[in-house]
């Protein structure tokens, strides 16, 4: 870990993260368009604010990486912050500036993944007591829930406080 604590390694790793973030956003946009899922998404960009001149000066390293990756950005002075984020109007005098990434998006990840999984046929059963897994040939093929047997292609089991159930899977 300490080997990555140099300016050179920071630049390399930051560049990788930026490329991954851009790729991830593009994939999410395509998936969202295909799936038609509404998940409280917002495409207004993100804003990082700086309280000190040192923080603002430090943004130069990030800006160099953004430029190299052709990522759109805006370096904002205190007077510009309220225009981008009106909630900062009363406090912009306490800030030295900000870095805005207009291409960034945000949304409810849990809602998105739940709706996508349901769209693909997943059934979520929360707060369901499983009496025992049904194992054949070393593979879980079902679960006993009272007198019912639930079959599925795959199971995700969260065994909070129920380690005894996992013994049958060993």
Return the percentage of the chain with pLDDT > 90, whole number. Answer: 50
Mean pLDDT on 54-76 = 94
| Helices and strands per DSSP (H, E), number in the chain | 5, 6
Separation in Å, CA 27 to CA 14, 24, 33, 80, 122: 20, 5, 10, 31, 22
Q: Chain-wide mean pLDDT for the chain?
A: 88
Model confidence over 42-61: pLDDT tens digits? 888 999 999 999 999 999 98
Mean pLDDT on 2-15 = 84
Residues 131, 61: one domain?
Answer: no
Residues 134, 68: one domain?
Answer: no
Mean pLDDT on 74-79 = 95
pLDDT grade for 138, boundaries at 50, 70 and 90:
confident
Residues 32, 70: one domain?
Answer: yes
Other residues' Cβ atoms within 10 Å of the Cβ of residue 166: 11
Report if residue 118 sits inside a domain.
no
Which residue segment(s) compose the domain that 147 sits in?
Answer: 125-169
Residue at a domain's end among 108, 143, 160: 108
Report if residue 114 sits inside a domain.
no
Residues 45, 77: one domain?
Answer: yes
Secondary structure letter of residue 106 according to DSSP: B
How many domains does one find in the chain? 2
Mean pLDDT on 131-146 = 88
Residues 101, 39: one domain?
Answer: yes
pLDDT at 170 over 60: no
């Amino acid at each position: 870990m300490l080997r990555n604590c140099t300016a050179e390694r920071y630049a390399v790793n930051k560049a990788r993260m930026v490329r991954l973030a851009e790729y991830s956003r593009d994939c999410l946009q395509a998936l969202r368009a295909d799936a038609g899922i509404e998940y409280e998404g917002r495409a207004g960009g993100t804003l990082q604010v700086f309280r000190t001149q040192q923080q603002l000066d430090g943004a130069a390293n990030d800006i160099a990486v953004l430029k190299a990756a052709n990522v759109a950005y805006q370096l904002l002075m205190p007077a510009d912050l309220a225009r981008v984020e009106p909630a900062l109007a009363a406090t912009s005098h306490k800030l030295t500036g900000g870095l805005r990434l207009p291409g960034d998006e945000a949304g409810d990840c849990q809602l998105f993944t739940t709706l996508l999984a349901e769209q693909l046929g997943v059934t979520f059963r929360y707060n369901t007591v499983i009496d025992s897994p049904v194992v054949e040939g070393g593979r879980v093929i079902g679960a006993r829930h009272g007198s019912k047997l639930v079959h599925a292609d795959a199971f995700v089991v969260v065994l909070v406080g129920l380690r005894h159930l996992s013994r049958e899977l060993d």
